[in-house]
Each structure stands twice: as structure tokens, then as C-alpha cells.
């Protein structure tokens, strides 16, 4: 069962990594807020149809958890994406990626405090290896980049988005006791989509809708089905099955996937980035238990 969960989380990383490449193309024709509105609007519609086909709508469960679904939808769907896109308007890509790379650490710390989840030694080692690997991937091994980083209000916005994503997983595991992953994904995504639609209606489009090329709509569809439907569904299932802390570590695979896709597109990859990729993969394997560290120690924070 856990192998299936790990496969799904790998799929999450692949779709999320591809989303960065797809969004880079889509922003030529859409405002960021419109990308989010289309993406989550389509995804919410698909999830609602899927829920109806499976006859999985549970009125009693909805009434019991509606406050928590509303909270998760605003925090994890709307909050995360809103602050992330807003932050990227005011900061460099390296800053944003490095801040988001701390998500497994933030999630693990929040899970330790809110859920009282223990941090075992292999998780700590895995997080450290993966974090170092992400730094290698993003800086190409040039630590002068880190020395010259300056922080702006955009970094603060991305940090808020980072915390929102961590809380989405931790609070979902804390409060949603009766709903299935597909119900949690559907309800929270619908709430987030409605919030994006309301705000996006006040913004003008970059390009008239009828003049947007099919490839740009294809990028939106990929993000909606790949990242928003399958990605969120697999992420929520991972949290339900193996916990928020271990699930969050798979987020570190995202820049690795983005790097591989960029390489296929013709972008040169530095040797240090390959070293970073190996460190990230090793860290994830270590934390998930595929690489064993013989110890019984655990730490409570």
C-alpha cells in the first residue's frame, strides 16, 4: 500500500515540476490570477463530476467538516497560490525556489507541534540531504549566489505561501477525520476556485480570450488536470496514509523534475546540479524508509 502512495507522490512531484514549465509559457497570454482561476475552476469541475460518478458525496460528512473544508480551501488552495504568484512578481526565481525548498522542514516542525508527530533520525538526515541537494540544483553549485541574495516583500509573500501549503497538510490531518481524500480535495478545491474566480473577475486580460493559442489553453489544462486534480488528490492521500512530514519531503523532488524537463528542452545542466539531484533523491529515499538508518532515536520538538 505504501509503495502505491510513494508512486503517487512521485507523480505529484512530476506534475508539479512540469507545472513550472507550463506556467512559464502560459503567463505570456494570461495574468497569473487568471491562470489560477482557470486552472482551479476546471479542476474543481472535474473533481465534482468525479465525486458524482463515484456517488461519494456525503452530506453528513460535509456538514460535520464544512468549517475545516472552508479553512483548508482558503489556506491551502487560495492562500498558497495567491501568495506564491504575488511573491514571484517582486522577487527572483532563485529566492522563491529556495524559500519553497524549506517546505518539508516547515511542515515537519508544524506536524511536530500540532500533531505531536515524532521526528525520527532518518527523517532528519533525509531532510538535510534533500535541502542541501535543492540548494545545489537551484544555485548550480555557485554559493556566491547565496551570498548576494537580497530579500524583499516578495520573499515575505512566498514565505506566507509556504506556510499556507504546510498548514494545508497538517490541518487536514488534524481536523478531517471522516472525509476521504477525494472529498477533501473536491471541497477544498471548489472553495479555492470560487475565491480565485471572484478576484480574477476584477482583473483585465493580457490577451483577448479568442486570440489565445491552443497551446496556451493546453498548458492550463495540463496544470488543471495534472497538478490540481491528480496532484492535490495524491498529496491528500499521502498525508492520510503516511503523515504530513514524510509526504512533504516529496516536494523537494519538484525542482529536480523541473531541471530534467528543462534539460530535455535544451537547457544546459551544470555538474553541481546533477550532484544536487542525487542528494535530493537520496534524502527522499532515506526519509521514506527505502534507505535504512539503524537507530531507535526520535526527537520531540
User: Considering the domain boundaries, does residue 54 fall inside one?
Assistant: yes
Half-sphere exposure of 271 (CA within 13 A, CB side): 0
Reported as a single tens digit per residue, the pLDDT across 93-150 is 666 776 777 788 888 889 888 988 787 777 788 778 878 887 787 677 777 776 776 6
pLDDT at 253 over 90: no
Q: For residues 79 and 193, what is the distance between their CA atoms, to the nearest angstrom?
A: 11
pLDDT at 284 over 70: yes
User: Considering the domain boundaries, does residue 296 fall inside one?
Assistant: no
pLDDT at 11 over 70: yes
User: Considering the domain boundaries, does residue 181 fall inside one?
Assistant: yes
| 275 vs 225: which has the higher pLDDT | 225
Q: What pLDDT score was predicted for residue 291? A: 63
User: Considering the domain boundaries, does residue 33 fall inside one?
Assistant: yes
Q: Which range of residues forms the domain containing residue 215? A: 2-117+152-247
For 94, 166, 267, the CA distances from 75, given in Å and listed in that order, are: 24, 10, 35
User: Considering the domain boundaries, does residue 8 fall inside one?
Assistant: yes
The DSSP code sequence of 162-184 is HHHHHHHHHHHHHH-SSS-HHHH
- Positive or negative torsion for Cα 42, 47, 49, 50: positive
User: Considering the domain boundaries, does residue 95 fall inside one?
Assistant: yes
Question: Three-state SS for 291?
Answer: coil
> Does an H or E element contain 299, and which?
strand 298-299
Asked if 136 and 275 touch (Cβ cutoff 8 Å), the reply is: yes
CA gyration radius, the chain: 19
Q: Which residues contact 293 (CB under 8 A, 6 or more apart)?
A: 121, 122, 125, 286
Q: pLDDT over 90 for what percent of the chain?
A: 31
This prediction's pTM: 0.79
Q: What dihedral angle (degrees, nearest 10) is formed by the CA atoms of 134, 140, 146, 152? A: -80
Overall average pLDDT of the 243-269 stretch: 81
User: Considering the domain boundaries, does residue 143 fall inside one?
Assistant: no
User: Considering the domain boundaries, does residue 111 fall inside one?
Assistant: yes
Q: What are phi and psi of 91, to 5 degrees?
A: -140, 170
Asked if 280 and 130 touch (Cβ cutoff 8 Å), the reply is: yes
- Give me the number of domains the chain comprises: 1
Alpha helices (H) along 54-140: 59-72, 80-88, 93-100, 103-110, 121-139
Q: What pLDDT score was predicted for residue 22? A: 85
Q: What pLDDT score was predicted for residue 224? A: 95
Mean pLDDT of the chain: 84
Q: For residues 17 and 24, what is the distance between their CA atoms, to the nearest angstrom?
A: 12
Report for 84-98, 126-140, 209-223, 232-246: range of highest mean pLDDT: 209-223
Overall average pLDDT of the 149-168 stretch: 85
Across-strand partners of 285?
Answer: none
Question: What cell numbers appear for 265 in the block?
Answer: 528542452
Across-strand partners of 298?
Answer: 120
| 56 vs 297: which has the higher pLDDT | 56
Amino acid at each position: 500500500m505504501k509503495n502505491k502512495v510513494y508512486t503517487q507522490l512521485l507523480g505529484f512531484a512530476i506534475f508539479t515540476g512540469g507545472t513550472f514549465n507550463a506556467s512559464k509559457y502560459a503567463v505570456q497570454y494570461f495574468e497569473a490570477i487568471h491562470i489560477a482561476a482557470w486552472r482551479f475552476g476546471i479542476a474543481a469541475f472535474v473533481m465534482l463530476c468525479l465525486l458524482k460518478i463515484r456517488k461519494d458525496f456525503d452530506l453528513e460528512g460535509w456538514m460535520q467538516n464544512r468549517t475545516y473544508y472552508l479553512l483548508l480551501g482558503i489556506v491551502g488552495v487560495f492562500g498558497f497560490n495567491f501568495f506564491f504568484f504575488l511573491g514571484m512578481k517582486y522577487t527572483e526565481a532563485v529566492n522563491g525556489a529556495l524559500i519553497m525548498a524549506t517546505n518539508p522542514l516547515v511542515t515537519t516542525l508544524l506536524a511536530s507541534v500540532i500533531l505531536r508527530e515524532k521526528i525520527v533520525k532518518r527523517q532528519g538526515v533525509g531532510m538535510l540531504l534533500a535541502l542541501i541537494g535543492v540548494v545545489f540544483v537551484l544555485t548550480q553549485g555557485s554559493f556566491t549566489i547565496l551570498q548576494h541574495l537580497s530579500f524583499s516583500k516578495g520573499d515575505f509573500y512566498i514565505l506566507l505561501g509556504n506556510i499556507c501549503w504546510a498548514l494545508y497538510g497538517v490541518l487536514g490531518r488534524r481536523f478531517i477525520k471522516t472525509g476521504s481524500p477525494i472529498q477533501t480535495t473536491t471541497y477544498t478545491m471548489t472553495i479555492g476556485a470560487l475565491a480565485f474566480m471572484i478576484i480574477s473577475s476584477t482583473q483585465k486580460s493580457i490577451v483577448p480570450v479568442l486570440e489565445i493559442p491552443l497551446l496556451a489553453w493546453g498548458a492550463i489544462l495540463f496544470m488543471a488536470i495534472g497538478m490540481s486534480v491528480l496532484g492535490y488528490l495524491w498529496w491528500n492521500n499521502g498525508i492520510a496514509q503516511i503523515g504530513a512530514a514524510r509526504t512533504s519531503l516529496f516536494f523537494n523532488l519538484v525542482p529536480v523534475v523541473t531541471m530534467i524537463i528543462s534539460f530535455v528542452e535544451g537547457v544546459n545542466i551544470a555538474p553541481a546540479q546533477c550532484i544536487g539531484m542525487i542528494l535530493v533523491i537520496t534524502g527522499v529515499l532515506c526519509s521514506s524508509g527505502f534507505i535504512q538508518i539503524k537507530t531507535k532515536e526520535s526527537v520531540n520538538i
